[in-house]
Amino acid sequence: MHLFSRVGVVTGGPVETLEWAVNITARVNQAMDIEVSLWQGQFGNPLGTVAWSALVESRAQLAEETLKLAADQGYLDLVGQGQAFAGAIPFEDSLRTMVHMTAEPAEPPPLGAWAEITTAVPMAGKIAAAMAWGVEISDYHAAVTGSPVMFLADDYGTFGQVGWIAVHADAAAADAAAAAVMADADYAAKVDGAGDLFVPGQSNRSSTVRLA
């Protein structure tokens, strides 16, 4: 299983840009047989960040579904309209392999779901140990917060980069999860247990909210 994402920054008024993003998401979901979700960047992202994501079985499935968009005139028209909102930061696609999931999702996250994303780059020669620690901390975080966690490895981009995505039902659930982590005496010790597994200064945290 892979997580495909397309992330970029749109410019212009918030009403027209988000209306366009919602409309193109709906068109994509009409044309393809995989479900695509629209997310708006929150903390840790440039203002105007939008992201689309979908779970796919393989590169072959993604390529097959993408061909459907190339033949959909409604989608192509919306892509053309979107040029008016193009920002200075170009859109970028990513593909990540699902290494571990703490729970199988029964359905896509609800509208308003709050996703928190953490990325890190393992030190050379410590990728295997970092992956094992990544699975362990995913399970512990999920047990403490009650929110599912996906642990992924980037297929492209920065070599070796891994990421965790914790999905909360809404912002209030994200607050409750943060409080639970802070109150857990062992959580910080488990994070410290990563030791020198990751490259210093290469970790990042951000959050997004589901719009469509």
**pLDDT band at residue 105 using 50, 70 and 90 as cut-offs:** low
- The pLDDT assigned to 168 comes to 96
80 and 102 housed in the same domain: no
Mean pLDDT of 35-62: 95
- Measure CA of the first residue to CA of the last residue in the chain; give whole Å: 22
C-beta separation of 87 from 48 below 8 A? yes
Mean pLDDT computed over 5-23: 92
Shared domain check, 202 and 120: yes
Q: Mark whether 131 and 74 lie in a shared domain.
A: no
Instruction: Give pLDDT tens digits for 78-98.
Output: 999 988 888 767 899 999 999
Q: How confident is the model at residue 73 (pLDDT cuts 50, 70, 90)?
A: very high
pLDDT of residue 120: 97
Q: Is 198 found in the same domain as 108?
A: yes
Query: Do residue 186 and residue 171 come from a single domain?
Result: yes
- pTM for the whole thing? 0.92
Statement to judge: residues 78 and 169 lie in one domain: no
Asked if residue 110 and residue 37 are part of one domain, the reply reads no
* Final residue belonging to a domain, choices 76, 93, 110: 93
Q: Which H or E run contains 51?
A: strand 49-56
My answer on whether 65 and 9 are in the same domain is yes
Question: Taking the mean position of all CA atoms in its chain, how far away is CA 124?
Answer: 25
Its domain, for residue 104, covers 97-210
Number of domains composing the chain: 2
Mean pLDDT over 122-126 rounds to 95
**Residues 169, 114 share a domain:** yes
Confidence (pLDDT) at 185: 87
Three-state DSSP at 145 gives helix
pLDDT of residue 43: 96
**103 and 180 within one domain:** yes
Determine the average pLDDT of the residues in 124-140. 96
Give percent above pLDDT 70 in the chain. Answer: 99
Distance, in Å, from the CA atom of 36 to the CA atom of 87, rounded to the nearest integer, reads 22
Neighbours of 29 (CB within 10 A): 16
Per-residue model confidence as pLDDT tens digits over 27-45: 999 999 999 999 999 999 9
Give the pLDDT confidence score for residue 199 in this predicted structure. 96
